[in-house]
Structure 1
């Protein structure tokens, strides 16, 4: 399925005295660019031009992201003093989430533990994702909110543990939990050609 976007214009006609601009497609990572394209179309029709761009405006974990090695070391030291998390853990979280790493580190109690087969993802990190990233299904976590499926590091034991964490946070019944595991495993096999043992 294409992730492209477009904004076709239906010009006024005898039944509708105004134009309609339809926003089609797109994805989260291009939403600002798409918004600027549509704004330019609308403003052009009003014979005006956009005065502000968001092209260089950081969002999410890109905000205040350390720009060089010295700034990164300083950020890690400050984050360590604020959260108590180890610098190695903070480094991993910073690489994955940008400066939102401190929120995740604060969510993690000391030595919460990793997923059974993951060297990097913690149980508490998964809990944070479930509670803050609008998760509806187990596949959302493993395919769209983490790099577990993309990297090929996801195992059946990790999937089961992630389901247990998500089920606890979202109030899933045992039946719903089993359905989520089965659906995620099927989607992983179908889309990623990834068969979990």
Structure 2
């Protein structure tokens, strides 16, 4: 089997952002990704992972389903967070722009503005801590019984823990969330209103 070409940092960043929002906003996409995540945790990624649920042995009468909120209400917190990233960092504007035609200097200048605003939102509403306190590049020890959600092993993974390896990314874990409540009078689908300047 041939190795696939490694993705650049920006390609991985773009993929992470796209998958992040699709998992929050698209339940079927999240359910399709979950078996891959579970297989990754177990250290087994087969070529094809069927996404199916076992059929019940005896058909049971379905319970009366409660009225589900519309999708925009069910995902109001995620949409509100996206609106905050747009308001402070113009993240949606940046991602919707085709930057391939712009020189690197212009993209870098725009990314600096997006970075500053989005960082402000993260610090205001989420408390983040690194999963591992060491610096990237340091040698770290991974003990037996480690949490596979918090530590992902890459490279030549063989044998049983404990392992010793080089820290490539310290990871992040959210320790608290301080989102404001969403007003039912507001339409959470409006990430950014159109602006009209009157003369």
TM over 0.5: no
Give the TM-score normalised by structure 1.
Answer: 0.25
Which structure is higher in helix share?
Answer: 1
Give the TM-score normalised by structure 2.
Answer: 0.25
Which structure is higher in strand share?
Answer: 2
